[in-house]
């Protein structure tokens, strides 16, 4: 095995173990010596066994795992604004008993799996839309209050500003 490959595997194991240990600390809320020791041992074992599953090979750099903090906060604020805006539209459609459902399929320009997952969940969090499937860069969404517009315009409406804002926060 080449030295560069071994370093890459060690980096994957370290990154996976570090993230798992951080999650351990958050969930246990215990910083006693026993808890921290158990967390380190468990994280290292799981990191060794599951590093190929936990983080895909193309997402092994820290820039794909840790988002840009300021841009992430701006993204979350944008998401909250979109959620309130969509809530009003869905309320209005329900009040008027309008049902204009439509299934939309589109490709996302986000490269990381984590970015795509966050986008799919953000679309689902936004009232009136539910992500039905996310496979690679293909996303299928049910849009409850669809407008009578072309597929390209519908794609822009559903992804909206979220994809571009998220693209700046998470690569």
- Residue 100 CB burial class (10 angstroms; 0-12, 13-18, ≥19): exposed
CA quadruple 143, 145, 151, 157: dihedral sign: negative
Residues 45 and 87 both lie in one domain: no
Residues 160 and 77 both lie in one domain: yes
CA 166, CA 56: separation in Å to the nearest integer? Answer: 20
Residues 130 and 152 both lie in one domain: yes
∠ CA(48), CA(171), CA(163), 5° rounding? Answer: 130
Residue-level pLDDT at 133: 92
Evaluate whether residue 60 is within a structural domain: no
Report which of 122, 45, 66 is spatially closest to residue 139, judged by C-alpha positions.
122
Evaluate whether residue 77 is within a structural domain: yes
Residue-level pLDDT at 65: 54
Residues 119 and 81 both lie in one domain: yes
* Residue 77 domain boundaries: 69-169
Residue-level pLDDT at 5: 59
Residues 49 and 76 both lie in one domain: no
Residue-level pLDDT at 56: 56
Judge whether 120 and 105 are in contact, CB under 8 Å.
no
CA quadruple 60, 54, 12, 56: dihedral sign: negative
Evaluate whether residue 134 is within a structural domain: yes
Evaluate whether residue 7 is within a structural domain: yes
- The number of domains in the chain is 2
* Segments in the chain below pLDDT 70: 1-8, 51-67, 171
Residues 75 and 141 both lie in one domain: yes
Evaluate whether residue 62 is within a structural domain: no
CA 134, CA 108: separation in Å to the nearest integer? Answer: 10
């Amino acid at each position: 095995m080449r030295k560069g490959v071994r370093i890459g595997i060690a980096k994957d194991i370290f990154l996976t173990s570090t993230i798992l240990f951080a999650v351990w600390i958050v969930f246990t809320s215990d910083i006693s010596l026993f808890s921290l020791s158990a967390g380190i041992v468990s994280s290292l074992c799981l990191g060794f066994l599951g590093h190929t599953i936990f983080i895909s090979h193309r997402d092994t750099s820290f820039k794909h795992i840790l988002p840009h903090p300021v841009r992430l906060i701006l993204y979350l604020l944008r998401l909250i604004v979109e959620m309130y805006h969509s809530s009003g539209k869905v309320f209005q459609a329900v009040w008027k008993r309008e049902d204009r459902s439509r299934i939309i399929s589109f490709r996302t320009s986000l490269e990381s799996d984590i970015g795509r997952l966050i986008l799919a969940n953000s679309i689902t969090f936004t009232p009136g839309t539910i992500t039905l499937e996310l496979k690679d860069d293909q996303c299928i969404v049910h849009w409850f209050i669809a407008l009578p517009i072309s597929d390209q315009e519908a794609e822009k409406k559903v992804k909206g500003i979220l994809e571009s804002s998220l693209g700046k926060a998470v690569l």
